[in-house]
Amino acid sequence: MKKAVLSLVVVGLLAGCSTAEKKPAPVVDSSQQDAAARAAAAKAAADKAAVEANALNQSQLSGQANGGSEAENLFQKSIYFQYNQYDVSDQYHSVLEADAAYLNAHPNVKVTLQGNTDDRGSAEYNLALGQRRADAVRKALNLLGVPEAQMEAVSFGKEKPRAEGDDESAWQQNRRTDIVPQSE
């Protein structure tokens, strides 16, 4: 009797451990999803560039109508950076191209590239990071043909915040390089 019970237990365990036939998971073509995501991102970037170009044209026209300097209207803008980063994002390429075209057409106009940081980190670290940000914009403009003599890169570190506060929204506005025309 013990052998029969033991045999049934062993058979039951073996039956419980057997695997049912599993169907393979459906194969999803992620390259189509990736291509669709890239296309959507490219369209969003193109739309943003078109809006920026339109705003740039409108500001130039309004500046000329209001008697403002064309250079002042063109360069009162900023290039923003991610936390602890100093590489210029592709989204600013059209802005830099417009600035470079203007500077190349007006060799007597000079700009100051003012690197800024948020208030996190030491003063020394932020001065160095602000300088790297200003230098990154200077290098990008230089690659677009702007002579070094037309640009000056300086760092204000965390000393010239655009927004006050201790939250991501304020910090994001302060991580930037401002493109400012030099007064003659």
Digit-coded pLDDT (tens) for 34-72: 656 665 655 555 455 444 444 444 444 444 444 445 555
Cα–Cα distance for residue pair 181/101, rounded to 1 Å: 15
- 165: tokens are 């506060």
Digit-coded pLDDT (tens) for 127-178: 999 999 999 999 999 999 999 999 999 999 999 999 898 889 899 999 999 9
In order of start, what are the domains of the chain with their CATH numbers? 60-184 (3.30.1330.60)
- 12: tokens are 């039951």
Characterize 171-181 residue by residue with b for buried, 16 or more Cβ atoms within 10 angstroms of its Cβ, and e for exposed: bbbbbbbbbbb
pTM, entire model = 0.61
The confidence score (pLDDT) of residue 166 equals 86
Digit-coded pLDDT (tens) for 81-98: 999 999 999 999 999 999
Cα–Cα distance for residue pair 43/130, rounded to 1 Å: 31
Spatial contact of 151 and 142, defined as CB atoms under 8 Å apart: yes
The confidence score (pLDDT) of residue 55 equals 46
The confidence score (pLDDT) of residue 3 equals 66
